[in-house]
Structures are given as structure tokens and as C-alpha cells.
Amino acid sequence: MIHIVFQDADINVLQKAFELDESMAGEILHVKDDFAVGPLASIYETEGYQARRDWWKQLLEFSPYVEQLDIVDDKLTVHNLIKRLDEDASPQVWVWMGQNQHDVCGYFWLISQLKDYQGRIFVLYLNNLPFINEKGGIFYPTVLHEIQPKEFLKAKKLARPITTSEFEVDPDEWKKLCNENAMVRLLEGGKKIISKGVDQYDKDLLAVITAEPQKLQKILGNAFSKMKIKTGDVFLVWRLREMIAEGKLEAQGEWARGWKEIAIKLVAAAQPAELPGETMA
């Protein structure tokens, strides 16, 4: 059995679930890119793939994750998966999704390449399903790693083959999103993804920035604590840098020395111009 997840933290919790139920055990593959943000035009072609890598390279500059671009090769992950499925007819593939745009966009990108293996590709979409948390209360997780490992024993019963209809409709929906080529995608419900503008999260950032300089990490922490729909910190910092370039914000410190050196504040409002014939009191 081969398991596929879309977030790094999901790997650990799934491995712990394997320890409780060996029948679930198998290799875990991680699709690392966040397809909920960034350019998608010609994503399966060399030029589109390279344009996306160049965009991520720009975003990762000065970040704590600058080396990560070199270890993200989802194309190779899928190439090796297809090679394995061609060579061995026995493995099933279980695609795990939480109810969030990151996982659902990753699912769309992935299964658009796996139509030839219908009947062997299963999906486990934990959509609007109640689980028990560590305190014994009921909650509705949006990401897999919020779920206790023992609860995955219940979740595995949701595994079902991706249908013929889904293999037709879902890649078409993904193609539409790729053609729209928006910079942000949100989950509206079910598997419905909608395109949004690049400034989608700006209001969340501006809501926690003041006229007094604040460290970048504090701004991110405050924003994440209040955001209803979250995205990655790399994307948010890029938006901050863009707003600084537009003159909406002001940065102190040297980006070349890393995020920890940066403080950001609102640009001071311009003083009102004095009207002709008037004097200021």
C-alpha cells in the first residue's frame, strides 16, 4: 500500500497510526508544493513548471527555508509512483485529504496524472467529519495532523476508489483553475476551489500592523492567530514585501540578514495640505 499526503506534519501522525494497525502500513509519499498559491499556467509543461519554480525561488529568498526549493521535486515523486504502478499491479494508492485548500489543490494536481490507474487509486477525504480530540471532545478537523493516531483507525474505513466520474470532472476543474492562473485559491466547500486575487490575505496582515515597528515574526504570529483561512508564512512575507514596494508599509532592518532582522510598520499618513490663504493654528 502507498499513502500520499500533502503536508509534512501528516507523515508523523500517519506513521503512529500504522503502529496501532499494521494492516494500514505502507510507504508514505509527500507532495510538497502548495498548489493553493502561485502560478499554474502550463503547470505540466516544462515552461510552466519552471515559471513556478522561479516564483517560489523569489519567495524563498531571505527566508529560513531558502534551501527547500532544491528538495521539492513533486514531478519526480509522481514519475516514480507511475513507474512503480506500471511494474507492479498489486499496490493500492491511498490519497489522504483534510478539508483545506492546500490538500484539495494537491489532490487535483496529483490525480490529473493518474487516470490510467483507475481502480487502484483510493481517496480518504475527511470532509465535515467529527473526530474525538485528546480531551474527549468532538471536533471537526481541517488538517490531518489535528487527528489523534488512534482516530485514523476509524478514518481508514472511509477509503474508496476514485470513481470514473471523478477522474473526468476533477481534472477538468483543475484545468479550469490552471487556465484562470490566479495567485490564490480557496476551498469553498466539498472539493469546490475558487480563484482569488493575490491580495486575498493582505487585510489579515494589515489588521495586525501598527504605526509602531513590530518584528516580522510577531506580525506573522498575530496574523495566524486571527486568520480564519490560513496560508503559508512564505507567501505572507512575500505579500508584505510587495506592500513595502508599493509604499503601503515600511521595513526596518536588512532582508539579507534574514526574517529575524526585519521590523515592519505602517507608513505614516501624509499631513493634510494647507489651503491657500489659511494658516495653521
Residues 189-247: tens digit of each pLDDT: 899 999 999 999 999 999 999 999 999 999 999 999 999 999 999 999 999 999 999 99
Instruction: Report whether CATH 3.40.640.10 matches the domain 2-177.
Output: no
- Return the bridge partners of 215, or none: 263
pTM of the model: 0.90
**Banded model confidence at residue 280, pLDDT cuts 50, 70, 90:** very low
What is the C-alpha end-to-end distance of the chain, expressed in Å? 79
* Residues forming CATH 3.40.1360.10 domain(s) in the chain: 2-177
Q: Between 243 and 151, name the one with better pLDDT.
A: 243
CA 7 to chain centroid, in Å, comes to: 8
pLDDT at residue 269, as a whole number: 64
Is residue 54 within 8 A of residue 129, CB to CB? The reply is no
Sheet of strand 93-98, all strands in order from the earlier edge strand to the far edge: 27-30, 2-5, 93-98, 121-126, 160-161
pLDDT at residue 23, as a whole number: 87
* Residues forming CATH 1.10.10 domain(s) in the chain: 202-266
Q: Which residues contact 266 (CB under 8 A, 6 or more apart)?
A: 206, 209, 210, 211, 248, 249, 250
Is the pLDDT at 270 greater than 70, yes or no? no
pLDDT at residue 281, as a whole number: 36
Around 189, how many Cα atoms within 13 Å sit in the side-chain half-sphere? 0
Handedness of CA 156, 162, 163, 169 (dihedral sign): positive
Sheet of strand 249-252, all strands in order from the earlier edge strand to the far edge: 214-215, 263-266, 249-252
Is residue 104 within 8 A of residue 97, CB to CB? The reply is yes
pLDDT at residue 191, as a whole number: 95
Instruction: Give CATH for domain 202-266.
Output: 1.10.10
Q: How big is the chain, counted in residues?
A: 281
Which pLDDT tens digit goes with each residue over 69-128? 777 799 999 999 999 999 999 999 999 999 999 999 999 999 999 999 999 999 999 988
Measure the CA–CA gap between 220 and 259, rounded to whole angstroms. Answer: 11
Is the pLDDT at 57 greater than 70, yes or no? yes
User: Where does 43-97 have alpha helices with state H?
Assistant: 46-60, 74-87
Measure the CA–CA gap between 268 and 211, rounded to whole angstroms. Answer: 7
Measure the CA–CA gap between 5 and 28, rounded to whole angstroms. Answer: 7
CA 139 to chain centroid, in Å, comes to: 22
Measure the CA–CA gap between 262 and 265, rounded to whole angstroms. Answer: 10
Is the pLDDT at 277 greater than 60, yes or no? no
Local structure of residue 198 (DSSP, 8 states): T
